[in-house]
Amino acid sequence: MKLIQVFQNLQHHLKKLIYRNNLIKLSSLYDDAKWGDNHRFAQHYQKHFAPLRLKKLKILEIGIGGYDDPEAGGDSLRMWRSYFPNSMIYGIDIVEKKSLESSRIQIFQGSQEDKYFLEKVIAKTGQMDIIIVDGSSVNEHRIKTFNILFPLLNDGGIYAEENTHISYWPSLGEKWSKLSEKSVFLANHVNVGGSLDLNASDTIMAMYKRLADGLNYQEFLNPGYSPSYFDKHIVAMHFYHNLVITYKGNNNEGSNIIENNTLHPFVLETLGVKSLDDLELEFSKVEQQGNK
């Protein structure tokens, strides 16, 4: 049996070496559920992360896996360590998981909605280049995490939000509490704060849909509009099934016909009016996400 185990370990390490450039194949060597048939994130991460693979980065993953078992989980952290050979990998979990630390993997225990804790972690590690969120299933927690951590990304950084399906699952409440006692999976989805209403304003997808509008904030015809931090620092967003990938940078391209959220003078002149008031438009209030 020992000889078989040695052979299996050798085979595993050899495959890691062979697959080191291909995240899709590399992910098949790890047991984390997100890399299975139901969560095809690897193909998207391969596209976005491949140009960065050999860089010296700081990568943070929230949610280590293994639930309440301090010895379980960590496969994703080990996979990132294999894929990014020159990077430091950090993990955050509500459960103590220090036993899973190893070379180039450092773990912190705390809540992803605790602003003081998250800022303390970043103060210790330095700002991140990639943040991957796979922690709490509660929409409110996810929104708080984004508002805290996205500003702490380096310019050019990437923020990946996994399992956005929680937006569409309403809290099950007491009616389902007994059923949830029989399943860890259900227990984590009893009070996620999602909604059957696709226009609900307090879900993680609602936040990202609003942020997508912010990409074009300089095109808003809305005098007096004050752009948020996110309007000015999100430069690209990619939406996939259960995954949103957001890039940070300087969103300052400007508009051809809008200036300071009103019509440029030459447009007014072309329209034959002296001011925007002459057009008798009704402006609706634009709700901002995390104005800073």
| Per-residue pLDDT tens over the stretch 29-46 | 886 545 554 458 999 999
The predicted-structure confidence for 56-67, as pLDDT tens digits, reads as follows 999 999 999 888
Query: Do residues 231 and 213 make contact, with C-beta atoms less than 8 angstroms apart?
Result: no
Tokens encoding 132: 């991957």
The answer, yes or no, to whether residue 222 has pLDDT greater than 60, is: yes
Phi and psi for 71 in degrees, rounded to 5?
-95, -10
Provide the pLDDT for residue 279.
65
What is the four-CA torsion angle of 120, 124, 129, 133, rounded to 10 degrees?
A: -40
Phi and psi for 106 in degrees, rounded to 5?
-125, 135
Secondary structure letter of residue 146 according to DSSP: H
Candidate from 84-93, 165-174, 205-214 with smallest mean pLDDT:
165-174
Secondary structure letter of residue 289 according to DSSP: S
Provide the pLDDT for residue 9.
65
Give the separation between CA 200 and CA 206, rounded to whole angstroms.
7
Within 10 Å of residue 188's Cβ, how many Cβ atoms?
15
Provide the pLDDT for residue 36.
52
Per-domain residue ranges of the chain: 2-279
Provide the pLDDT for residue 171.
78
Provide the pLDDT for residue 7.
55
* Predicted confidence band of residue 2 (pLDDT cuts 50, 70, 90): confident
Q: Say which amino acid occupies 142.
A: R
Residue with the bigger pLDDT between 198 and 272: it is: 198
The predicted-structure confidence for 131-167, as pLDDT tens digits, reads as follows 999 999 999 999 999 999 999 999 999 999 999 999 9
Provide the pLDDT for residue 33.
47
Q: Which of 216, 221, 214, 215 is nearest to 271 (CA)?
A: 221
Provide the pLDDT for residue 38.
41
Q: Which of 124, 116, 1 is nearest to 58 (CA)?
A: 124
The predicted-structure confidence for 83-138, as pLDDT tens digits, reads as follows 999 999 999 999 999 999 999 999 999 999 999 999 999 999 999 999 999 999 99
DSSP of 188-207: TTSS--B-S-TT-SSSHHHH
Give the separation between CA 230 and CA 217, rounded to whole angstroms.
10
Cβ neighbours for 123, distance < 8 A, ≥ 6 positions apart:
none
Q: Quick one: the chain helix, strand, coil %, rounded to 5?
A: 40, 20, 40
The answer, yes or no, to whether residue 286 has pLDDT greater than 80, is: no
The predicted-structure confidence for 259-280, as pLDDT tens digits, reads as follows 888 777 776 677 777 776 666 6
The answer, yes or no, to whether residue 175 has pLDDT greater than 50, is: yes
Cβ neighbours for 143, distance < 8 A, ≥ 6 positions apart:
202, 204, 207
* Predicted confidence band of residue 238 (pLDDT cuts 50, 70, 90): very high
DSSP of 42-106: HHHHHHHHGGGTTS--EEEEE--SSTT-TTS--HHHHHHHHHSTT-EEEEEESS--GGG-BTTEE
> Exposure string (b/e) for 63-75, b if CB count within 10 Å is 16 or more?
bbbbeeeeeebbb
If phi over 0 gives left and psi between -120 and 50 gives alpha, with beta otherwise, what is residue 235? alpha
Within 10 Å of residue 43's Cβ, how many Cβ atoms?
11
What is the pTM (predicted TM-score) of this model?
Answer: 0.88
Q: Which CATH number fits domain 2-279: 3.40.640.10, 3.40.1780.10, 3.40.50.150, 3.40.50.720?
A: 3.40.50.150
